[in-house]
Chain A
Amino acid sequence: MKKLAVLLTLSLLGAGLAQGVRSLGMGGVALPGPSFAGSNPAYAAFPDTWGREGLALPVGLLRFLPAFSDTSPFTYLTDPNAFRTSFDLLSFYDQASHLGSFLLNPARSPDEVVFRLSAEGLSLTDGRGNNLMPTFQVGAVPEKPTALIPSPFLPIGVELGPGTYLAFGPFVGTQGVRVLPSPELAQALAGGSLNPCKASDPSPCYLEAGGSFASGVSLALGFSTPLPEVPGLGRVYLGARGEGFYGLGYVEASGKARPTFDPDGNVNGASYEVRYFISYPEYLESSLGLGGSGLGYGVRADLGVAVDGGQYAFGLGVRNLLGFSQWSGVEVEVKDGHETRTPTTRRSGFSAPAFFLNGAYRLPLEVGELLLAADASFGATAPAFHLGLEYALGPVALRTGLGVEGGLRFGLGAGLNLEAVTLDLALTTHQAPLVGGTVYGLALAVGF
């Protein structure tokens, strides 16, 4: 239990600090430069004139102090009664997955969940008559392992020569989480009638949940270099990176729950199917004892190109253009209480490219300067799009932007660039998971 809690917290930590504060203030847009070398290897040698900013502080960690009983699981140890009356798992998840922001109104579970069962059907509402549709997705849930592992957390980088570098670090993170009702179940919940669920046996109504989680250590060897300037275009940068990993743990799980009916069409129970694959190094078998010991490894190649035209900059990165990964472990299937375990080796495909395209344009004004930026991600990753702008006047910058990234988001921000120190502040937003609505947060970065 403690091990799983630590792994979960670490995975969320990795995801939660993924973006800089300047970027958050611009609606999450990615500015060209070394900050996004992970998405486009050509940016490793790119001048740091577009996306420069201070170090993002994990201000979201403040919400794990026991004083914040809605988001702090540690309240369980300091005040069990306050934990039982105030702790909100959804609020905790929301804050933990956005550690770079102190959430002002983290997603909140409904005060009342009403299950109404009658011969006509089953309805699920929030107590005020609003239907609760259990739908939730973060990232793209892979059906098989991928060499596209999460970015390393606090990597150690070594310069090997001009444009050549080595980076080493641990990685841990979810590669996607999903809770989704089948169309028939969604129809039944919306209409309050179970008739769509009786169309076949087994019932077409089911609630599906799935996700995957990977951890390990990665080693990347990258090369990035500027090419001679192209007249009329600007300086072109090329980059390539090879990244391999040694796996410390991989879990891929999915589950389905569906109602069962008696011959008269009345609900008489539910059937469950759970399938999961688990893999970890052999030396962990004695402490975990799940029978999933095996080797996990992978390697992939990333390529990128970027252009710096002075007034403008843009780039295209392709991660996992070629790649391979495999995990050996055990696959477990549990169906209506019967468990089958099969030693299995799960392998990825040889190419599942994830594309990242971004650009920025500086527009000088009579007073100050305007920076416009946009980015798009697509391919073997959850699609996302952002658009942001920044108005700079002397040491002060004002920012705003919007994006689509598992829901609509927008940002507001400000920056102060003094000689000795830089400060960036952003008001961030994102869609509350499961319950919908907008969650606001504050993010802070400091540079010296």
Chain B
Amino acid sequence: MKRFLMLTTLLLALAACSGHTVHRIEVDFLSFVPEANRSGTLDLTTAEVQVPDDPAGQLVPVPGAEALLEGTVRVKAEVANTGTLPAQVDLEVRMGPEGDTNLYDGVDGDLEAKRVSLTLDPGTTGTLDLSLDLAPGNPAFDLVKAGSFRIGARLNLSGEKVDYTLTQGEVVLRLKLFNLIPNP
């Protein structure tokens, strides 16, 4: 019975599918962050902010992840140094397995997928542009390929005061379902 159902499901899933078809899944995870939480100020009292607030991050299920070809994680933030001293801002993307409850503690399999830094003089603005390519051999790729993963970002300030606005947060995955077909 299960085989019959699986076969039916497979036939339906493949109805618009072929060896040349790539399924691209785009998840705009920034859109799930409330508008009010996408911008703010980092200063001496609040030197760090996590997006989303929950340290467990955002869960991203990926059906058919075994067929993953490649992917990209992209996070962008506009930063303005509104203080009187030079400031350094770090943007870090962290990923973890589905069961991880804190992406930032370095236990239960979470990892730093990528980090970028920006140094700003007082009164200047800049863009933190983080682009992470997910490709075979990359630990983050293995997390995605597990079928469900968690993702979160952290902004960190070394300095006096900066204003920030997150402008992009997106995961793009490319899958080829025909890769799931075994050899005869």
Contact = CB atoms under 8 A, between A and B. Distances in A.
A109 to B, nearest CB: 4
For B4, B12, B22, the residue with the greatest tally of chain A CB atoms inside 10 Å of its CB is B4
A80 interface: yes
B116 interface: no
B184 A88 contact: no
Given A86-B20, A109-B20, A266 B25 contact: no
B14 interface: yes
A209 B9 CA distance: 11
A76 B181 CA distance: 10
Given A86-B20, A88-B20, A109-B18, A119 B32 contact: yes
Interface residues of B, number: 29
A84 B25 CA distance: 20
B18 A115 contact: no
Contacts of A76: 181, 184
Given A115-B25, A117-B27, A290-B1, A83 B12 contact: no
Contacts of A134: 15-16
A190 interface: no
B181 A77 contact: no
Contact of A90 (B15, B31, B181, B184): B15
Nearest to A334: B5
A83 B19 contact: yes
B44 interface: no
A321 interface: no
B7 interface: yes
B8 interface: yes
A189 interface: no
Nearest to A114: B24
A434 B16 contact: yes
For B16, B20, B178, the residue with the greatest tally of chain A CB atoms inside 10 Å of its CB is B16
A13 B45 CA distance: 74
Nearest to A78: B184
Nearest to A5: B7
B31 A91 contact: no
Contact of B25 (A85, A109, A117): A117
B21 A113 contact: yes
Contact of A127 (B12, B24, B181): B24
B23 A113 contact: yes
B17 interface: yes
Given A76-B184, A119-B28, A127-B24, A113 B179 contact: no
Given A127-B24, A255-B12, A85 B31 contact: no
A87 B5 contact: no
B26 interface: yes
A108 B32 contact: no
Contacts of A426: none
Interface in A398-417: none
A274 B4 CA distance: 12
For B7, B15, B17, the residue with the greatest tally of chain A CB atoms inside 10 Å of its CB is B15
Contacts of A70: 18
A55 interface: no
Interface in B19-73: 19-28, 31-32
B183 interface: yes
A447 interface: no
Contact of B19 (A88, A112, A120): A88
Nearest to B59: A268
A232 to B, nearest CB: 55
Contacts of B3: 1
Contacts of B179: 84
Contacts of A77: 184
A271 interface: no
Contact of B5 (A1, A4, A88, A274): A274
Contact of A112 (B7, B21, B27, B183): B21
A118 interface: yes
A76 B28 CA distance: 37
A397 interface: no
Nearest to A113: B23
A89 interface: yes
A111 B20 contact: yes
A180 interface: no
B31 A89 contact: no
Contacts of A88: 18-21
Interface in A36-61: none
Nearest to B28: A118
B18 A91 contact: yes
A113 B24 CA distance: 6
A253 B18 contact: no
Contact of B16 (A85, A109, A209, A253): A109
Interface string A86-124: 111111000000000000000011111111111110000
Contacts of B28: 116-119
The 4 A-B residue pairs with the shortest CB-CB distance in the complex, in nearest-first order: A88-B18, A118-B28, A119-B31, A109-B18
11 contacts: A84-B179, A85-B20, A85-B178, A88-B20, A109-B21, A114-B25, A115-B24, A116-B28, A117-B26, A118-B27, A127-B24
Given A89-B17, A134-B16, 4 more contacts: A85-B19, A85-B20, A86-B19, A113-B22
